[in-house]
Structure 1
């Protein structure tokens, strides 16, 4: 993806909403002028009570059929445990044929919350990364070659062919919050996905330098990789409501040590609900002022992120979409002309 213009997207919270309402919100996002819609591919949500986890693949097909313009994709899908990489290659080739130029495959190393409940032994980080790299290379090979025989460390195919595929392969984005996956994105991906709300030094001193290193290693231009940031925003003209809405996603404020080894949504919910709202809100830009919201979002754009996908935590997503599209998006677009 070589576009450098600012693109503004909507994060469909598949962990928070049932598939039907989620689809309606995403269709509305297109009507209101958003450029893209992304959703995660979870087997289990972060919360048990009122949690949801619709399957991403059929849901993307439904969204494609009900929309005509927006780019749609995963942020992110794990092609290494629940799915064989060849099945992912087949599914996204089909989606790419059905909705040309609109499908994006975002992949990552995954969460134990989604894999351990299926009887999968959760390996350490180096193996998860090695599996991801092998899976990506196999997917990309299946998109351009016939009768692929592959006997790798983790996956095998024998004379495998994805028969129905678009002439131009689907763009593949790599999601990551560490330097290894980010560097890999710079080397072989069409896009890079990460999330907002972390220490500024992580972006300036670790992630973006790793992306540049990956690009330089392969002699690629900066514009070769779309830089997608999932921006966590809680925006409402009622500031207290904007603060309270972040409680739905308090699990994001848990430290890695606090959630390591937690594969049960009931336990994750218990840990999250024990946090005060002030801590739950730390991962979010919380504001009741459009100018403040625009200014703080622009800080991420100044770092070099050119595709901003907005994730709102509140239960009333239509309220968010209508107010944010009317009061914040125009200011963001105007400042980039």
Structure 2
């Protein structure tokens, strides 16, 4: 079944604004809302970085139906996995069935400034993530947990306030190994749109399905979520210009991965033209074009579409989207 979500852009708006937008999204029929967990934003000027867990609790209290989650949080460096198990256990017990823990291996921009660590290679980051997920789930299942891992340990630890059922863990992946891991052990899979089509059709989805097969799981066992970068406005020139705030998304992974200062990231992003910044986005004033641009993702099995709009007037986007685009999407893919 098709699910439509809203990306609460923590790097662009104050936490209060984001909560207001999410309340509006629920009223307009969105099924979910996800917030990224950044210690620092992609750009210093005009940037924001609210604490995602604080925001989740406050926004869940203001809404009644919409599912809320992180896209994504890194439970391995500035967040210790046992503390994430406790925090999400609390959220899950207060708002049953509405909380999702989305996780990833992280970026130096978020972790290094906060704790002063040496940013490790991808292999270690992936190993830490796997171990963190094992520990988090063990703490949710068992009452007294003594855990001795390569990176984390607990001694007779108990999470006293936890939900009646396990909170779903969604795993973000941009490459084959983590996509396969998501298929083996994730409740959901997260990726972002706008990259080379072969990445999805030849790397991510085949490896996700290989992971499912290895564990003898069914396709429906993993929610396939993709963040759709959509700049939709009845004024197409405005839609294109709106992408400039998010210029960092058009930088290559190699350019971004080692940058630890939002001022430096901002400088790199501002060197790009609007044509370059728009390259990661669906930029249009035509709702039917939105459907056709999303069709390849739907054909690959993505059933949870979370829309990230770059413009400063999010309420305008939400209302235009719900009126012109959402009904077409539900008709085409629901």
TM-score scaled by length of structure 2: 0.99
Following TM superposition, by how much is the alpha carbon of 1:281 offset from its aligned partner in structure 2, in angstroms?
Answer: 0.4
| 1:242-283 C-alpha deviation (Å, 9 max, x unpaired) | 000000101000012323421100010011001000010010
Give the corresponding residue for 1:180.
177
Gapped runs of 5+ residues in structure 1?
Answer: none
1:88 aligns with 2:89: no
The structure 2 residue matched to 1:306, chosen from 303, 307, 310, is 303
Give the corresponding residue for 1:283.
280
| 1:264-318 C-alpha deviation (Å, 9 max, x unpaired) | 0001001100100001001000101111112112221111100000000001101
Q: Hey, what's the Cα distance between the residues in 1 that align with 2:256 and 2:297?
A: 27
1:140 aligns with 2:171: no
Question: How many pairs were matched up?
Answer: 333
TM-score scaled by length of structure 1: 0.98
1:63 aligns with 2:63: no
1:50 aligns with 2:16: no
Give the corresponding residue for 1:40.
36
Q: Hey, what's the Cα distance between the residues in 1 that align with 2:175 and 2:135?
A: 23
Following TM superposition, by how much is the alpha carbon of 1:167 offset from its aligned partner in structure 2, in angstroms?
Answer: 1.4
Structure 1 segment 96-245 matched on structure 2, within 5 A = 96-118=92-114, 119-245=116-242
| 1:19-59 C-alpha deviation (Å, 9 max, x unpaired) | 01111011100000000000100000000001000000010
Q: Hey, what's the Cα distance between the residues in 1 that align with 2:128 and 2:333?
A: 39
| Contact 1:298–1:332 (8 Å) recurs in 2 | no
| Contact 1:9–1:307 (8 Å) recurs in 2 | yes
CA RMSD of aligned residues (A): 0.8
Secondary structure of the equivalent of 1:86?
Answer: helix
Secondary structure of the equivalent of 2:333?
Answer: coil
Give the corresponding residue for 1:319.
316
Give the corresponding residue for 2:267.
270
Secondary structure of the equivalent of 1:228?
Answer: strand
